[in-house]
Structure formats: C-alpha cells, structure tokens
Amino acid sequence: MAPVCLSRSLGWLSRAIPLLLALSAGRAPALPEICKYCPGPVYDKSEVDLYCKQRQELTLSARCCLTKQGTIVGLDLQNCSLKELDPLFTEAHSAIVLDLKANPFEYISFSFRNFTELQILVLPRKVDCPGGHNAWDNITCGPDSCTCHGQIQCNSTVEPALCPENAYCVSDGPGLFQCLCTAGFHGYKCLREGSFPLLMFSGILGTTTFCISILLWGTQLRKIRAS
Ligand SMILES: *[C@@H]1O[C@H](CO)[C@@H](O)[C@H](O)[C@H]1NC(C)=O
Ligand SMILES: *[C@@H]1O[C@H](CO)[C@@H](O)[C@H](O)[C@H]1NC(C)=O
Ligand SMILES: *[C@@H]1O[C@H](CO)[C@@H](O)[C@H](O)[C@H]1NC(C)=O
Ligand SMILES: *[C@@H]1O[C@H](CO)[C@@H](O)[C@H](O)[C@H]1NC(C)=O
C-alpha cells in the first residue's frame, strides 16, 4: 500500500512543481531591461513618481512605474547621461509618462511609433516634441525642460483625407497614424471586398498629402507610359 501512496504523491508533486514555479513567476514578472538602464530609483517628485503614487495599483521599481502584470506605465530616465535613445527604448512603448530631462541629447533620432499611450513626455529644453506642436494638446516649458502633454489622436471623421475610402485611421504614436481597412474590405487601398481588416500603410501626420500626391503622380505616370 505504502509504495503506491508514495508513487501517487510523487506523481502529484512532479505535476505541482512546474505549476508552483509558473505561479511564482506570474507573481513577480521579470523587470524590463529598460527599467535598469541607468542606476538608482525613480526621482522623488518627478512626473513618474507623482503619477505612480496617485494610483494604488501601480508600483515603483528601479526607474519604472509598473502594473501588477509588469507593464511599463512610467519611465524616468532623467539625468542618465543619455546621448541618444537606445533601440531598447521600444520596451517602454506602453508608457503613459516618460521623463528624459537632464540628458545631453539634442534631438530625437528614435521613432516613437507604437507609443500610443504616451500622455506626458518631459524632454531637455533644446529637444522638440516628437511630431511637432501639432501632435500634442499643449507644450509647456520650464528653464531646463519642456513637457509635451496629451497626444493628439487622428480622427477619420475630422480628417477624411488621411486614409483612402473604405479605410480609417488609428493613431500610432505622437504625430503618427496607420490606415486600417474597414470591416469587409482588404488589399491594396482596401479596394477588395473580403472578411478581415488589414493594415494598409503607416504615415506621419502633416506629410501625408505630400506622400499621397507622390503616389498619385507615380501611378499617373505609369498609366501615361503604358498608353
Ligand atoms: C545626476 O546624477 C549624478 C550621478 O550620476 C548625481 O551626482 C547628481 O546629483 C544628479 N543630478 C541631479 C540634479 O539630481
Ligand atoms: C505595439 O504595441 C502593441 C501593444 O500596445 C504590441 O502588442 C505590439 O507588439 C507592438 N508592435 C510593435 C511593432 O512593437
Ligand atoms: C495641457 O494639457 C493637459 C492635458 O493634456 C492639461 O491637463 C493641462 O492643464 C494643459 N495645460 C495647459 C497650460 O493648457
Ligand atoms: C472623431 O470626431 C468626431 C466629431 O468631432 C467625434 O464625434 C468622434 O467621437 C471622434 N472619434 C474619435 C475616435 O475620437
């Protein structure tokens, strides 16, 4: 009887151990690398600190403010001697608050594509807000830094020219958007009727008319050559 019991409990144990491991892993998700990009914690009274402490469900860890699931909500990389924004920075695409002040970079070479949640971005004074003035609700400046507030969302109702017929725009970061086919259409310029919505193209607000003109010019030219 005893050996049977033993093998049963061993069997149970062998199934339970991976489960327990998985559970403990779920409780403490790995801290994203970008949170440890430079030493020290989030600065006291910084935008990230204030935002995080106002919300009980969020926790501060290294340079980040995180949800229980480990999603980055805030990232404070002020005073980190950043000369440029590392590609690793894409890890922070879910951030609502980003503080990059007191760093020596003078322009942004990094694309903020997919930073759709971003609402507060603090930059060194010399650096322009990504997407320019038109991409933000307002921009306020202090002696050493400027803050870009409230990313402006694109809206197909207000700007129907951004995307072709049978498509609508969705914001894809500050001053950036994508055109998606409306339900029932797909393919190039969403001209084909079908079942699934599909990404058509991405663009930069403000330069679209120019791009569309080039596109039209190109297609016209091909038609002329063909005839
Ligand atoms: C910036 O960081 C350095 C250490 O890297 C520290 O000595 C200095 O006090 C910090 N500056 C501010 C304004 O906190
Ligand atoms: C963009 O963000 C979404 C979640 O917000 C993520 O699932 C997706 O992988 C990201 N895409 C890229 C290209 O990083
Ligand atoms: C700037 O916009 C934010 C919201 O995006 C708002 O809370 C803030 O009051 C605005 N500040 C000014 C000076 O308009
Ligand atoms: C787009 O603008 C219209 C008219 O101002 C508004 O009713 C609608 O809610 C907006 N849509 C989005 C997604 O913001």
Q: pLDDT tens, 70-122?
A: 999 999 999 999 999 999 999 999 999 999 999 999 999 899 999 999 999 99
Which two three-digit tokens encode residue 176?
């950036």
Domains of the chain, by residue range, sit at 28-151, 160-215
Residues having CB within 6 Å of any atom of ligand 2: 93-94, 114
Question: Per-residue DSSP letters for 97-165?
Answer: EEE--S----S--S--TT--S--EEEEETTSPPTT-GGGEEEEEE-SSEEEEEEEPPP-TTT-GGGS-T
Percent of the chain with pLDDT over 90: 58
The preferred substitution site among 34, 93, 110, 113 for testing ligand 2, maximizing ligand atoms within 8 Å of CB, is 93
Tell me how far the alpha carbon of residue 117 lies from the centroid of ligand 2, in angstroms.
11
- Helix, strand, or coil (residue 200): strand
pLDDT at 4: 42
pTM, entire model: 0.77
- Helix, strand, or coil (residue 186): strand
Tell me how far the alpha carbon of residue 184 lies from the centroid of ligand 3, in angstroms.
39
Tell me how far the alpha carbon of residue 86 lies from the centroid of ligand 1, in angstroms.
21
* Closest-lying ligand 4 atom to the alpha carbon of residue 155: 1
Ligand nearest to the CA of 139: 3
CB of 171 closer than 8 Å to CB of 151: yes
The CA distance from 150 to 97, in Å, is: 10
Ligand nearest to the CA of 154: 4
More confident residue, 73 or 181: 73
